[in-house]
Amino acid sequence: MNIKIDSRKVLPGDTFIAIRELNGDGHEYVIDAINNGATTVIVEEGEYSVNTIIVNDTTLYLKEYLENNYYDEIKKLKLIGMTGTNGKTTTCYLIHQALNKVGIKCAYIGTLGFYLTDEKRTLNNTTPNLYEIYNMLLECVHKDYEYVVMEVSSQGLSMGRVDTLIFDYVIFSNLTQDHLDYHGTMEDYVLEKQKLFKMTNDSFAIVNSDDKYLNYFLLDNKNITYGKYSLDYKIDNINSTLDGSIFTLNDEEYFIKLVGEYNIYNMTIVIILLKLLEIENIKEIVKDLDSPDGRMDIIKYNTNNIIVDYAHTPDAVEKIITNVSKLKHNKIITLIGCGGNRDKTKRQPMGDIATKYSDYVIFTSDNPRFENPKKILNDITCKLDKKNYKIIVKRKKAIQKAIQMLSKNDILLLLGKGHEDYQIIKNKKIHFSDKEIVLDYLRR
C-alpha cells in the first residue's frame, strides 16, 4: 500500500495523507513526509511543494479509499468481532488458539498485539486505526488465513476504527463501568459497543444472557445466548480450583485449565463457536487451551499462590477477588492501583471493592501518566471505611513487600497490569513487569 499515514514510514514515491486524531494532527508532519520522499500529499489545508490534493475530511477520504481499493480482497476473510468491558482478550486469544489447533488458520488482533500462527507484534491500541487494520487483514489474506478474531473496543467503535468491515460473528461478554472519562455516561458507553452488532450481514451473535444490557446486543435473528439462565447454552455445576475448572454446559461436562467462573464464561464462547463450525472432539480441544500471559497467571511460591492479572475495572476486580475467595486459601492479599489520566470515577469503587473482599490490600502506582501517583492513591483511599490496607507508591517495592507478607496457603493478587511489560510515567514507557519482579524476587 503506497498511501501512508505515518510520515516516518513514507518511502520515495508514496502518497501521504494527513489524518487528524486524538493524539495528534498529521498536518504537522506533511513536510517530514515530503522530505522522506512523498510525491503526493492529501490534506485538508495548506500549500506544499509536491502534488497536493485538498479534501474536506482526510479521515473520510482514507476510509473510502481503503474500502474502494481493498475491501474486495479482505472480504475473503471470516471476521470474528468481540466487545464488552471484560473478557475480550482472554476469549479472543482462546479462539485464536483453538482454531489454529484444529488446523484453521486464524489471526488475532487486540490488547496482546497482532498474532499470526508463528509471529507476534505489539500494537499501540486494543483496536488499531482502520489503516492499520486493513494492512493487517491484507497480510492475512496474502498468507492464506481463513479467520481473524478481533477485540473491538468502545473507543475503537466511536473513532470509526472498524468502519466498512462486516463481521461474520459478533460476541458480547458483559458491560460494566469503564472509560466514562471518554464516553461520559453508561448509556453512551453501551451505545458505542452496540455499533459492532450493526456491522453484520446474516451473522451470528453470541451474547451473555446474564448481563443486564443483553437486549442491546441481540440481532433480529441468529442469536445464541449463554449463561446460567440461558435457554441456548446453560452453564451449571461450576467447580473451580487453582488446578482448573469443571462445569456443565447443557448437561455436558467440561474440564479446562483456566481458573474462575468468569473464565468458564470466556471458554463457553469458544465452545459455542467451535460447535457452530462443526468441529469435533471439542472437550479434548478446550481442556488443553491456555490463558494468555497476565490473565490469571499463577506463580507457585511454597504453599502460596501469586496471581498476576490485568483486572483494572471495578467489576473485574470484584470478580477476580470473589472467585479466588472460593478457592482453598488462608489469606487474600491484593495489590492494586489505578491508571492516571483515565476514568477517575472508578477509583473510589476500586478501593472499596479491594478492601471489602481482601484480607489486606496494598495500594500502589499503576500507569500514572501525567498525574501525581500520590494524588491517584488519595482518590482511591480517601473515603475508605475499612483500614486493612497500606499505601506504597513505588510498585516494585510494593510487590516485594506483598510477597514478604505471605505466610502459609495465602493468595497474593497483583492486579491492573497483567501482561504489560512497561509502566507509563508522563509520556515515557519504562520497562516494568509484575511477573518479572516476582520471579526475580523468588530467585533470591
What is the value of pTM for the model shown? 0.88
DSSP 88: H
Write the CB contacts of 313 (distance below 8 Å, at least 6 apart in sequence): 85, 86, 176, 177, 178, 346, 350
Alpha-carbon gap, residue 172 to 193, rounded angstroms: 9
Count the Cβ atoms, other than its own, within 10 Å of residue 379: 18
Contact 421, 435 (CB under 8 A): no
Alpha-carbon gap, residue 139 to 314, rounded angstroms: 37
Return the pLDDT at 233: 97
Alpha-carbon gap, residue 358 to 331, rounded angstroms: 8
Position 305: which residue type? N
Go through the domains of the chain in sequence order and give each one's CATH number.
3-56 (3.40.1390.10), 69-286 (3.40.1190.10), 297-442 (3.90.190.20)
Q: Whose CA is closest to 362, among 393, 381, 334? A: 334
Return the pLDDT at 181: 57
Position 343: which residue type? D
Alpha-carbon gap, residue 308 to 416, rounded angstroms: 8
Which spans in 382-417 are helix H? Answer: 395-404
Write the CB contacts of 87 (distance below 8 Å, at least 6 apart in sequence): 173, 174, 262, 265, 266
Beta strands in 152-277 (DSSP E): 167-172, 200-208, 223-227, 233-241, 244-249, 252-256
Supply 262's cell numbers: 468468569
Alpha-carbon gap, residue 99 to 105, rounded angstroms: 7
Alpha-carbon gap, residue 263 to 247, rounded angstroms: 11
In terms of phi and psi (left: phi > 0; alpha: psi -120 to 50; beta: otherwise), the region of 230 is: beta
Alpha-carbon gap, residue 220 to 222, rounded angstroms: 7
Cα 57 to the center of its chain, rounded Å:
30
Position 336: which residue type? I
Q: Whose CA is closest to 169, among 150, 156, 153? A: 150
Alpha-carbon gap, residue 423 to 367, rounded angstroms: 5
Alpha-carbon gap, residue 76 to 66, rounded angstroms: 15
Return the pLDDT at 103: 96
Judging by DSSP bridges, how do beta strands 167-172 and 147-151 pair with one another? unpaired
Return averaged pLDDT per consecutive 10 residues of the chain, 444 residues in all.
92 95 87 97 95 96 96 96 92 98 97 93 87 96 98 89 95 78 72 92 93 91 94 95 94 95 96 97 96 92 96 91 91 96 92 97 97 97 95 98 97 96 93 97 92
Return the pLDDT at 189: 83
C-alpha dist (Å) from residue 24 to 4, 28, 133, 238, 254: 15, 8, 19, 48, 48
Q: Whose CA is closest to 64, among 10, 124, 131, 15? A: 131
Contact 407, 378 (CB under 8 A): no
Alpha-carbon gap, residue 133 to 110, rounded angstroms: 11
Return the pLDDT at 125: 81
Contact 279, 285 (CB under 8 A): yes
Alpha-carbon gap, residue 36 to 437, rounded angstroms: 42
Supply 436's cell numbers: 518479572
